[in-house]
Structure formats: structure tokens, C-alpha cells
């Protein structure tokens, strides 16, 4: 984090600084948007789960489409357009609240629009990094980006909780809208030329479905990539089933205020910063495969502490759960993302990332929707326990093959 070559790379620093601000804003909305639904609009568990599902529904629907266009077009303009779209959608929330017309259908629409922007942005973002920096610097680049993501997880919820207490949850969403404007400026500021897109398949054929299918084949033709995708998607299914009712649990069962929840989130996210700092060190000690297995398993186990908070020591238990989960998450993500970026040629990066994202994010709306149904039908605690049970299955995918990986493979240059 504090060393490395990328501190001297001004173009990377522009990307890094803009995304740092944007991620802080997104963490504000992560707390503020469902809080609007729960505390302002008195949403049911089903409605909160549906809102969470809308935020990620675009990935299974548009993920593969995004991959084709990210490989066809230049990636930086796509990222700029996505940030502008998300800015406008989020800005509509405080405006509608001020006009006294805010409703759940509008929140669903905002979630869907920001979800579409996130689909195209994230696929372009992961595919843009290997063209902005040398592939030998991918671990360093992903680590720096993950560290600022962890800092955002510390600062964002605390800021979000403070803003919610100060101006209300609807007005607090404006902070995220402003952060996307900063991201746009930082992306426009980048001057390093982007390589010309070359999306044709290995056979030389070109066409939407030919190009899309090549991305699918790259993922499912590589047992390491598809098993990691299976592990991540299972973890996401469980965590989204869990998180669909998590805020309802802390607000209505534990009776915590938004400010307290924000501070707990922020304090727990200190673990994310420590995890990002050790993401390269841990696999050097125990191997890449064992690192992926241990981190994905411990992440599921950390959720068990949340329902125990109803029996006492709520804040310490929530903090411990957040801390442990936040620690293992960047260790897992930095290593699996860098692995995928290193072993796939640049011309198919967008389609590979889109296919993986379709798989791993495709379970998010399913988990959120099921969590909302279980929460409304059987209660909040059964939904939490179901999410924990599913999350604990994620490590089985790593045991099927990637557990044997000892080190990162040599980067592919073509």
C-alpha cells in the first residue's frame, strides 16, 4: 500500500483518488437507501428484500451484454456514462422527499437504474485496470483499490449514520450523488491512451453472440475460474439472503439508531483495511488455494455472531462480526480478482469479467428476494439463519480444485 511503483503513476492515482471518494459516497447510500425504506416509508421485510433485489437484478439480466460492449468500446467513456446515470438517479431521492412525493416504487426505480450503471461500470472497471497499468502491478493496483474500499467502508457508514441523524436518510443520499460527480471528473482527467478494442473471437469471427459466447467459454473452459465463481456466487446468495433482513433486525429487534449502526459498520470495517494490507502476505505463507478456502469459510462463520446479539452485548458482537467479515473479504477478493485478470488475455477481459459477474452477482437478487419472503413469512431470525447456512457452503467449491493452487500464475500478456 505505502510502497510500490504505482505511487509514481499519475494516471493510476487519478483513477484511485476518484474511486476512493465515490466508494465513500456509495457506502453512505448502502446504509441510507434501505433506511429510507424502513424508517421513512415503513417498508415490510418483503419490500426491503425486493429493494435489495432491484439493486443487483441487472447483473443476471445484462451482465453478458455488458461484457460484449465493454470489449467492443473504450472502457473509460462507459465508466463516465455510468457514473452520470447513477448521479441523476440518486439525486432524485432527496428531491422527491423535499416535494413530499417519495415512494417505494421510486426507490425500486432508483435501485434498478443504479444497478444497471453498476453492471456496466464494474465490468468496465475491472477490465480497464489491466490496460491502465502493467499486469505485473495488478496485485499492487488491486490492493490499493481494495484498501481505499476498506477505508470507505470505515468512513462511509459513520458519515452515513451522522448524515442520517443530522438531515434524515433521504437527504443523506445526496452525498452519494455528489461522489459520483467527483468520480466523473477524475475519469475525464485521465490522459493515458486506452488500447484499441479487438473483440473478435479466436476464429476471427465477429458478432454479438459469437463474442459473448467466447467470454462464456473462457470462464467455463477454465476450471479454476468457474469454481471460484461458484464459490463467490454461493457466498453472495447466502450473504444477500442474510442482509435482506439485517437492517430490520438491528433497527426493530435490537433497537439501535442509524448513528449507532453507522459507527458499528465503520468500526468493523477496520478489519477490511487490515485484510487489504495482508492480502499479498497471507498466500505467500499458506498458499493461494488455502487462502481462498479459509477466507470464504471464515466470512460465513462471522455471520453467526449477529443473531446472538439479541441475547446481550449487541454492539460488541455486531462489531466482531463486521470486523472478521471485513478482514477476510478483501483477502479473498484481491487474490481471486488478480488471478482472473492475470490468466486471461486483454481482448476478452470484459467478457470474462462480465460472465463471472453474471454468475456471482446473479445470485444477489435471488438471495435478497428469498430473504425478504422468509422474513415476511417466517420471521427475521429464520431468514438470518438461512443466510448463514448457505454462506457456509461456499468453501466446498474451493475444495473441488483451487485449494491446490500455491502461487499466482504468470500473467498472460496477449
Tell me the C-alpha distance between 54 and 351, whole Å.
23
Convert the pLDDT of each residue in 315-358 to its tens digit: 999 999 999 998 999 899 888 888 887 778 777 877 888 788 88
Q: Please state, as a whole number, how many other Cβ atoms lie within 10 Å of the Cβ of residue 16.
A: 18
Contact criterion met (CB below 8 Å) for 24 and 269: no
Quote the cell numbers at residue 86: 447513477
Q: Are the CB atoms for 31 and 258 separated by under 8 Å?
A: yes
Residue-wise over 295-323: b if at least 16 C-beta within 10 A, else e? bbbbbbbbbebbbebeeeebeebbbbbbb
Tell whether pTM > 0.85.
Answer: no
312: left (phi over 0), alpha (psi -120 to 50) or beta: left
CB 139 within 8 A of CB 408: yes
pLDDT at 196: 65
As given in the structure block, the three cell numbers for residue 30 are 448502502
- Which pLDDT belongs to residue 127? 76
8 A C-beta contact, residue 227 and residue 335: no
- Specify burial of residue 193 (Cβ count, 10 A radius: 0-12, 13-18, 19+): exposed
Torsion, Cα 172 176 178 179, to 10 degrees, reads: 140
Name residues whose C-beta falls within 8 Å of residue 42's C-beta, 6 or more positions apart in sequence.
none
* pLDDT on residue 11: 83
The confidence score (pLDDT) of residue 66 equals 82
Distances (CA, A) of 308 to 246, 250, 311, 320, 326: 13, 12, 6, 12, 19
pLDDT for the residue 302: 96
Can you give the pLDDT at residue 140? Answer: 81
CA distance 362 to 65: 14
State phi, psi for 73 to the nearest 5 degrees: -110, 165
- Report the C-alpha gap between 233 and 358 in whole angstroms: 9
**What pLDDT is recorded for position 172?**
87
Report the alpha-carbon angle 365-371-374, nearest 5: 140
pLDDT of residue 202: 52
Encode pLDDT of 199-227 as tens digits.
555 545 567 778 888 888 888 988 888 89
Residue 232: the pLDDT is 94
N-term to C-term CA, the chain:
28
pLDDT at 118: 85
Domains present along the chain, CATH in parentheses: 5-189+210-404 (1.20.1250.20)
pLDDT at 224: 85
Cβ count within 10 A of residue 5 = 13
- Dig out the grid coordinates for 404 from the structure: 491446490
Q: Which residues of the chain have pLDDT under 70?
A: 1-4, 150, 153-154, 195-206, 402, 405-414
Amino acid at each position: 500500500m505505502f510502497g510500490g511503483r504505482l505511487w509514481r503513476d499519475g494516471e493510476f492515482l487519478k483513477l484511485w483518488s476518484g474511486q476512493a471518494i465515490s466508494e465513500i459516497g456509495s457506502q453512505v447510500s448502502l446504509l441510507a437507501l434501505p433506511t429510507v425504506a424502513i424508517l421513512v416509508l415503513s417498508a415490510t421485510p418483503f419490500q426491503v428484500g425486493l429493494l435489495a433485489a432491484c439493486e443487483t437484478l441487472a447483473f443476471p439480466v445484462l451482465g453478458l451484454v455488458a461484457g460484449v460492449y465493454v470489449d467492443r468500446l473504450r472502457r473509460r467513456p462507459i465508466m463516465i456514462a455510468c457514473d452520470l446515470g447513477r448521479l441523476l438517479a440518486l439525486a432524485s431521492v432527496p428531491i422527491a422527499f423535499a416535494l413530499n412525493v417519495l415512494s417505494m416504487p421510486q426507490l425500486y426505480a432508483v435501485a434498478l437504474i443504479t444497478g444497471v450503471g453498476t453492471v456496466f461500470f464494474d465490468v468496465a472497471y475491472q477490465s480497464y485496470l489491466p490496460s491502465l497499468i502493467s499486469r505485473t502491478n495488478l496485485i499492487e493496483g488491486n490492493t490499493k483499490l481494495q484498501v481505499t474500499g476498506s477505508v470507505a467502508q470505515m468512513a462511509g457508514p459513520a458519515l452515513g449514520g451522522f448524515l442520517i441523524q443530522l438531515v434524515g436518510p433521504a437527504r443523506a443520499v445526496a452525498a452519494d450523488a455528489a461522489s459520483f460527480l467527483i468520480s466523473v471528473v477524475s475519469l475525464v482527467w485521465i490522459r493515458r491512451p486506452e488500447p484499441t478494442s479487438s473483440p473478435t473471437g479466436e476464429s476471427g469471427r465477429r458478432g454479438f453472440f459469437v463474442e459473448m459466447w467466447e467470454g462464456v467459454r473462457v470462464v467455463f473452459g477454465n476450471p479454476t475460474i468457474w469454481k471460484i465463481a461458484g464459490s463467490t456466487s454461493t457466498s453472495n446468495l447466502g450473504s444477500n439472503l442474510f442482509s435482506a433482513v439485517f437492517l430490520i433486525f438491528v433497527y426493530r429487534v435490537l433497537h439501535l439508531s442509524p448513528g449507532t449502526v453507522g459507527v458499528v459498520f465503520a468500526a468493523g470495517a477496520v478489519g477490511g483495511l487490515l485484510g487489504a494490507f495482508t492480502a499479498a502476505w497471507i498466500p505467500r505463507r499458506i498458499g493461494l488455494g488455502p487462502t481462498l478456502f479459509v477466507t470464504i469459510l471464515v466470512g460465513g462463520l462471522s455471520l453467526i455472531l449477529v443473531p446472538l446479539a439479541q441475547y446481550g452485548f449487541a454492539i460488541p458482537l455486531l462489531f466482531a462480526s463486521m470486523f472478521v467479515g471485513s478482514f477476510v473479504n478483501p483477502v479473498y477478493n484481491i487474490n481471486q480478482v488478480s488471478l482472473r485478470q492475470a490468466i486471461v488475455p486483454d481482448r476478452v477481459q470484459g467478457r470474462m469479467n462480465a460472465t463471472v459477474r453474471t454468475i456471482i452477482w446473479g445470485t444477489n437478487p435471488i438471495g435478497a428476494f428469498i430473504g425478504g419472503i422468509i422474513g415476511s413469512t417466517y420471521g427475521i431470525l429464520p431468514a438470518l439463519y438461512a443466510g448463514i447456512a448457505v454462506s457456509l457452503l461456499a468453501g466446498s467449491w474451493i475444495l473441488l480444485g483451487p485449494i491446490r493452487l500455491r502461487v499466482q500464475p504468470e500473467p498472460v500478456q496477449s
